[in-house]
């Protein structure tokens, strides 16, 4: 009888595990179903960094015995998929590697675990650059409240054909036509000249691949750097004023300029962005374009001879300056623990493991773009890939989109209005921005952002 009772008690106790709480304290006793092999499931987008991260966490599994599965979902609807999962408090995923703009939605609606105390206890702010902590982890901004740790630093930049830029015949022809030397563009105006110069449709060769897709955030990420560089903005992120900021003369000029840029590419590339098969890298790899917008996080394949026969001829540069300033779109993601998960103990072990210096170095070696201070400051890193110099430069002037809980609604509107402007001649740049301004104002008013 005594033995039977002990067996029952042991079986029952196996159903309970101690979990690190959202605030970092190892004190919460939580019911959990027993499992033969400890495991966690992480949602991320379907792209190369997710492959690199699976390789990295396989090493965590070898060390700890905790299985980690990265579920990759297509970029075009990952946001909708994740938000739908959260609305029903799904436990399908234990962690998510989400865009910086998801922080408002995830934190305000209770979907993300609050990591503030844990981050303080583990001195996370001392390990990652401030731009990464502010952009990928903190919400509201300047609040010192954290919901993620930085994982993948990224920004929009450009890849280009070095061999064409260095070709003497091309250089002479460019100098004769434009009156200055062919080189990496210092300004958007110079970039336009270069795109025009290399645009040769009759030869099936094009000057520039500029993001134009209406799916997810591609078009918005491409246009907002010009709006900032021309001296305008998306709005006031403290007061949420839009009128006169987004729809002023500077923003109108920037939007019109982008439409001119987009004319120097193959119209069939409209939806080339991040998804496999329609990647914005494809025209470069096929030798059909002189320059292309890229995310640095996905650019490793461009410099791999095994994947790109032109790898040795690919160079990179940061977004050029506009008439007023220089800016680029911040990419990248942080990793958050989903509040509905029953496996937070394993997730916290993974976060702690990711903080190790040697793990961040390994992440960089595999192809990830670490946000770790010591990795970014490493002279060795700058020489491991031709993109790293441009990437590090980009981080100094990268800026972010709206990170409010209504981010998805705002994004859908900017994608819709800017896509209509680029694909038709039925509306002017000014009217496009006026319409977007009105829609954004109505959205903010509906959600109670404007106080009487």
Task: State the pLDDT at residue 215.
Answer: 86
CA dist 70 and 63 (Å) reads 17
Of 132, 138, 74, residue with least CA distance to 106: 138
Answer for the pair 132, 375: CB distance below 8 angstroms, yes or no. no
Contacts of 451 (CB under 8 A, 6+ apart): none
Q: Where in the chain is the domain with CATH 3.40.190.10?
A: 16-154+331-399, 156-329+406-446
CA dist 433 and 248 (Å) reads 8
Which comes out higher in pLDDT, residue 383 or 37? 37
Residue percentage of the chain with pLDDT more than 90: 86
Q: Looking at domain 156-329+406-446, which CATH architecture does it have?
A: 3-Layer(aba) Sandwich (3.40)
CA dist 113 and 22 (Å) reads 5
The per-residue pLDDT for range 237-282, each reduced to its tens digit, is 999 999 999 999 999 999 999 999 999 999 999 999 986 667 889 9
The per-residue pLDDT for range 313-331, each reduced to its tens digit, is 999 999 999 999 999 999 9
Task: State the pLDDT at residue 440.
Answer: 99
Chain center to CA of 93: 20
Please tell me what DSSP assigns to residue 326. B
Contacts of 180 (CB under 8 A, 6+ apart): 190
Strand blocks (E) in 311-381:
314-318, 328-329, 333-337
Task: State the pLDDT at residue 178.
Answer: 99
Question: Does the pLDDT of residue 42 top 80, yes or no?
Answer: yes
Task: State the pLDDT at residue 383.
Answer: 78
- Return the minimum-mean-pLDDT range out of 32-41, 85-94, 195-204: 32-41
Between strands 28-31 and 16-19, the pairing is: antiparallel
Containing 449, the helix (H) or strand (E) segment is none
To the nearest 10°, report the CA torsion of 144, 406, 245, 442: -140
For residue 419, report the phi and psi dihedrals to the nearest 5 degrees.
-65, -45
The per-residue pLDDT for range 339-367, each reduced to its tens digit, is 999 999 999 999 999 999 999 999 999 99
Q: Which strands make up the sheet holding 206-209, listed edge to edge?
A: 206-209, 289-295, 156-161, 314-318
Domain at 16-154+331-399: CATH code = 3.40.190.10
């Amino acid at each position: 009888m005594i033995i039977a009772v002990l067996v029952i008690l042991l079986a029952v106790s196996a159903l309970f595990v101690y979990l690190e709480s959202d605030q970092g304290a190892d004190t919460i006793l939580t019911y959990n179903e027993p499992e033969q092999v400890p495991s966690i499931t992480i949602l991320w987008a379907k792209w190369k960094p997710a492959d690199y991260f699976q390789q990295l966490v396989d090493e965590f599994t070898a060390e700890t015995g905790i299985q980690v599965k990265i579920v990759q979902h297509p970029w075009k609807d990952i946001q909708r998929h994740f938000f739908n999962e959260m609305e029903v408090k799904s436990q399908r995923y234990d962690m998510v590697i989400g865009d910086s703009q998801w922080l408002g939605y995830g934190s305000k609606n209770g979907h993300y675990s609050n990591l503030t105390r844990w981050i303080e206890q583990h001195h996370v702010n001392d390990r990652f650059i401030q731009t990464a902590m502010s952009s990928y982890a903190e919400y509201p901004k300047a609040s010192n409240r954290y919901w993620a740790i930085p994982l993948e630093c990224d920004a929009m930049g450009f890849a280009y054909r070095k061999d064409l830029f260095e070709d003497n015949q091309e250089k002479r022809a460019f100098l004769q036509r434009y009156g200055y030397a062919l080189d990496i563009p210092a300004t958007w105006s110079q970039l336009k000249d270069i795109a025009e110069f290399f645009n040769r449709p009759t030869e099936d060769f094009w000057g520039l691949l500029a993001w134009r897709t209406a799916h997810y955030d591609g078009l918005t990420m491409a246009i907002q750097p010009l709006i900032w560089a021309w001296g305008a903005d998306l709005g006031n992120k403290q007061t949420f004023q839009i009128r006169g900021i987004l729809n002023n003369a500077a923003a109108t000029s920037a939007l019109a300029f982008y439409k001119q840029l987009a004319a120097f590419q193959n119209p069939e590339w409209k939806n080339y962005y991040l998804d496999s098969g329609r990647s914005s890298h494809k025209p470069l790899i096929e030798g059909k374009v002189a320059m292309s917008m890229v995310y640095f996080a996905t650019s490793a394949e461009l410099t791999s001879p095994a994947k790109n026969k032109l790898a040795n001829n690919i160079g990179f540069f940061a977004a050029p300056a506009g008439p007023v300033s220089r800016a680029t779109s911040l990419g990248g993601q942080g990793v958050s623990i989903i509040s509905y998960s029953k496996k937070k103990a394993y997730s916290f072990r993974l976060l702690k493991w990711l903080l190790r210096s040697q793990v961040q170095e390994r992440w960089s070696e595999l192809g990830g773009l670490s946000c770790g201070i010591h990795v970014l400051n490493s002279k060795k890193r700058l020489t491991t890939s031709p993109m790293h110099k441009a990437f590090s430069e980009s981080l100094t002037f990268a800026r972010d989109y709206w990170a409010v809980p209504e981010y998805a609604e705002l994004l859908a509107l900017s994608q819709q209005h800017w896509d209509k402007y680029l694909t038709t001649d039925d509306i002017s740049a000014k009217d496009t921005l006026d319409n977007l301004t009105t829609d954004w104002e109505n959205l903010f008013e509906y959600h109670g952002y404007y106080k009487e």
